[in-house]
Structure 1
Amino acid sequence: MVPDGGGYNPHQDVESGGRSVLYFRAPVREGLPARFELTCAGHYPDVLAAHIRSGAEAPGAPTKLLSILAGHWAARAVHVAVEIGLCDVLGQGPLTAGDVAQQTDCDPAAVDRLLRYLTHLGVVRRLGENKYSNTPLGALLRADSPFSDLTRMYGGEFYDAWREFASAVRTGHTAFSHKYGVEHFDYFAERPTTARTFDRSMQAVTNLVADELSRTFPFPAGAMVVDIGGGNGTLLRAILRENPEVSGILFDREHVSCNAVAEHEDASYRSRFSSVAGDFFAEVPGSGDIYLLSRVLHDWNDEDCVRILAACRRACGAGAELLVLERLLPDAETGAPDISLTAPWDMQMLAITGGRERTRSEYGTLLTKAGFRLDEVRPLPVDMNVLVAVPAAAGPDGQPGSGVPSPGFRAR
């Protein structure tokens, strides 16, 4: 076996000091995986560094580089599969390439080759009699899954913007604005159909953390939860479903909040759900016990983050809490690459939003500047974390704050 990378994630197995992983590549043999991983609790920077060096020096390095350079081919192939409805067709049952071509109105020979590549990517599987079916990954690409919307965004506007990524690196301004002439939130505000696709695409990741957060965190009975920049309300609705004595306010820009109300009518929480339109840089609803900022701050630069947090701080009454859901970069250079999704997402922020991913200490600094105190960080699925903060003794403008533990998350 040949060393094939590895890394250290400080946000997994936190009590054991994080988790290290070593990857190995093996010759392809029938019925055996081509890649193995060895994981263990703890941090071993010297071992990781030596393992990674030996992998880079191995004869397979050129092949690995070619694989990296060809990465956009995979993204485009998956995007096209969504565009032509390939996985929707396969959802009806195993089909031949000819069947798929006929039902998608595509060239049979081209579809046959695409299916072969998608098999290589793990999107579909080949069965007997030259038939294909969806894998669990392929099922995520059906039209009824928000991952299909995510694929459309990443293969559409975002993909086209990435062509201008060099401009973002050279100037510090987004590739999206260089491509389209406006920043991406303004772009979506002017295009309601695209905005709905974007909101549904964000639901793909939110779904993966919403149930975990709503089940494992104690939302007190009678609490009012305010979801700031909550998009179509996926996270807030999950909390309300799991906590029948909790009420919620969805707060976002007008075109977003209107769509959220129109698309989601559920009798189980309708009387406890309301939507308010506004600007989170200026003012947020002041009646909340728990405020949520889920994947909002990573969209903005430090100055704008402090403005958003300061608006939240002004709204917080005595005993209120703020929950910030974000991915975290490692706080210190470990000598090994970050194996989480955070580093790639940081590049997406550079290219598209003008924001960035941050470390725990960097978020702590922003919270302090806005008048909060970071109390704890808890892990969530897909490398997400919830940062629990409370008002500090004085707010960002010197106004007094509660400065005392609230009866919610930290006290339980």
Structure 2
Amino acid sequence: MSTPQQNLPEKILELSRGFQLSQCLFTATALGIPDQLKDGPKHCDELALATQSHSPSLYRLLRVLTSIGLVTEISPHTFEGTALAACLQTDAPNSLKDFVLLRAEQYYQCWQDLTYSIQTGNSAFEKNFGTSHYRYNQQTPELSERFDKIMSVLAQRQKQAILSAYDFSGLDTIVDIGGGQGSLLISILERYPTLNAVLFDQAETITRAHELLAQHQLEQRCLPVAGSFFESLPAGKELYILKHVLHNWDDAQSLQILQNCRSAMASGTKLLIIEGVITAQASQRTVLLDLMMLVSFDSGKLRTEAEFQALLQASGFRIERIVNTQLDISIIEAVAI
């Protein structure tokens, strides 16, 4: 729907205020406001004491948080958290706290250099932090663990959409390449009790995956394997999954990953590529994610169906079908030829 002509200046001003709201969200999360309000309402002075803040200034922040629905002022200077704030509590199921803090601490700084990325085609992350996104997180175990946790939380939101859209019955063993700590595989294995799996990822991630598989009593059905998809992959299985992997890499690197997949697969074996596909009707979230891959993730990108088709043909695959899901991700089913 188009904006009425007389409202166009206000629309521009509204769009330009976006960074202010995101910073208010980041600050509230970093100060732990959602956690502070978990057990009930608190006066601003009490919140200021708990967060080591200047109470009059904190009150001004809380008014903005009220305007975006994160808190409610139930009496003068006394606030309670909303259901939205609960999503940012540390111990909430599938908490988004770490994800918001990651955006605040790493991505926000990079997006200030969006012009640099647009003009050069290079990652603003490397310009700001001196190394790639993945190397930066790998240098610190705490950052690497937090990133894996964030990916698991995001997977929780997506796995039901994937299970609703694709039938994994009739298979013996599947492989999740770059599958993190195994969140998607766990859901698939719990849905299909006769199915077995191989979880393939980097060594430090696989180390953490063992504990999660044990919690779900799946150690006997899921084999964790450490390695690099730029080198070699477990061979001879019936179906392989690449979920949110290729969009992290440029075409040359993605082609290498797909060629390594093909080397591990017999003709007729299926490969599922699960990620966003750029279309003429792509959502704002999808096109923003594509831009984020440029800014923050080492020249990665989302692709169109034609771009996937070219990569898959060059690596020995044929697209059988593209299955849409309830979310902004699709399942590209390809067959090794």
Whether these two folds match at TM > 0.5 is: yes
Which residue of the partner structure matches residue 187 of structure 1?
Answer: 136
Which residue of the partner structure matches residue 383 of structure 1?
Answer: 328
Counterparts of 1:90 and 1:107, CA distance in 2: 18
Q: 1:348 aligns with which of 277, 292, 296?
A: 292
Q: Any residues of structure 2 matched to 1:12-411 within 5 Å, and which?
A: 22=1, 52=2, 55=3, 58-128=5-75, 131-144=78-91, 145-221=94-170, 223-330=172-279, 332=280, 338-353=282-297, 354-392=299-337
CA distance change for structure 1 residues 264 and 87 in 2, over 3 Å: closer, same or farther?
A: farther
- Output the amino acid matched with 2:47: V
Counterparts of 1:196 and 1:81, CA distance in 2: 23
Counterparts of 1:87 and 1:301, CA distance in 2: 38
Q: Is the deviation greater in 129-138 or in 301-310?
A: 129-138
Q: Is the deviation greater in 171-180 or in 248-257?
A: 248-257
Q: Which has the larger radius of gyration?
A: 1
Counterparts of 1:204 and 1:61, CA distance in 2: 38
After superposition, the CA RMSD in angstroms is 2.0
Q: Is the Cα–Cα contact under 8 Å of residues 271 and 333 in structure 2 kept in the other structure?
A: yes
Query: Structure 1: 5+ residue runs without aligned partners?
Result: 1-21, 23-51, 393-412
Q: What is the CA distance between 1:128 and its match in structure 2?
A: 4.8
- Output the amino acid matched with 2:57: A
Q: What is the CA distance between 1:153 and its match in structure 2?
A: 0.8
Which residue of the partner structure matches residue 409 of structure 1?
Answer: none
CA distance change for structure 1 residues 346 and 262 in 2, over 3 Å: closer, same or farther?
A: same
Q: Is the Cα–Cα contact under 8 Å of residues 173 and 237 in structure 2 kept in the other structure?
A: yes
Q: Is the Cα–Cα contact under 8 Å of residues 186 and 213 in structure 2 kept in the other structure?
A: no
Q: What is the CA distance between 1:123 and its match in structure 2?
A: 2.0
Counterparts of 1:376 and 1:125, CA distance in 2: 48
CA distance change for structure 1 residues 264 and 109 in 2, over 3 Å: closer, same or farther?
A: farther
Q: Is the Cα–Cα contact under 8 Å of residues 165 and 323 in structure 2 kept in the other structure?
A: no
Counterparts of 1:139 and 1:207, CA distance in 2: 17
Q: What is the CA distance between 1:264 and its match in structure 2?
A: 4.8
CA distance change for structure 1 residues 58 and 275 in 2, over 3 Å: closer, same or farther?
A: same
Q: Is the Cα–Cα contact under 8 Å of residues 119 and 125 in structure 1 kept in the other structure?
A: yes
Q: What is the CA distance between 1:103 and its match in structure 2?
A: 2.9
CA distance change for structure 1 residues 264 and 77 in 2, over 3 Å: closer, same or farther?
A: farther
CA distance change for structure 1 residues 309 and 278 in 2, over 3 Å: closer, same or farther?
A: same
- Post-superposition Cα deviations, 1:229-256, rounded to whole Å, max 9, x if no partner, equal 1122221121122222212221112222
Q: Name the count of aligned residue pairs.
A: 334
Q: What is the CA distance between 1:267 and its match in structure 2?
A: 4.2
CA distance change for structure 1 residues 70 and 321 in 2, over 3 Å: closer, same or farther?
A: same
Q: What is the CA distance between 1:262 and its match in structure 2?
A: 4.1
CA distance change for structure 1 residues 270 and 125 in 2, over 3 Å: closer, same or farther?
A: farther
- Post-superposition Cα deviations, 1:33-77, rounded to whole Å, max 9, x if no partner, equal xxxxxxxxxxxxxxxxxxx3xx2x622222221222221112221
- Post-superposition Cα deviations, 1:203-245, rounded to whole Å, max 9, x if no partner, equal 2321111123235422225521211111222211211222222
- Post-superposition Cα deviations, 1:347-386, rounded to whole Å, max 9, x if no partner, equal 1011011111111221122111111111111222431111
CA distance change for structure 1 residues 81 and 264 in 2, over 3 Å: closer, same or farther?
A: farther
Q: Is the deviation greater in 285-294 or in 257-266?
A: 257-266
**TM-score after normalising by structure 2:** 0.92
Aligned to 2:204, what secondary structure does the other structure show? helix
Q: Percent identity?
A: 29
Q: Is the Cα–Cα contact under 8 Å of residues 209 and 380 in structure 1 kept in the other structure?
A: no
Counterparts of 1:267 and 1:390, CA distance in 2: 31
Counterparts of 1:181 and 1:136, CA distance in 2: 39
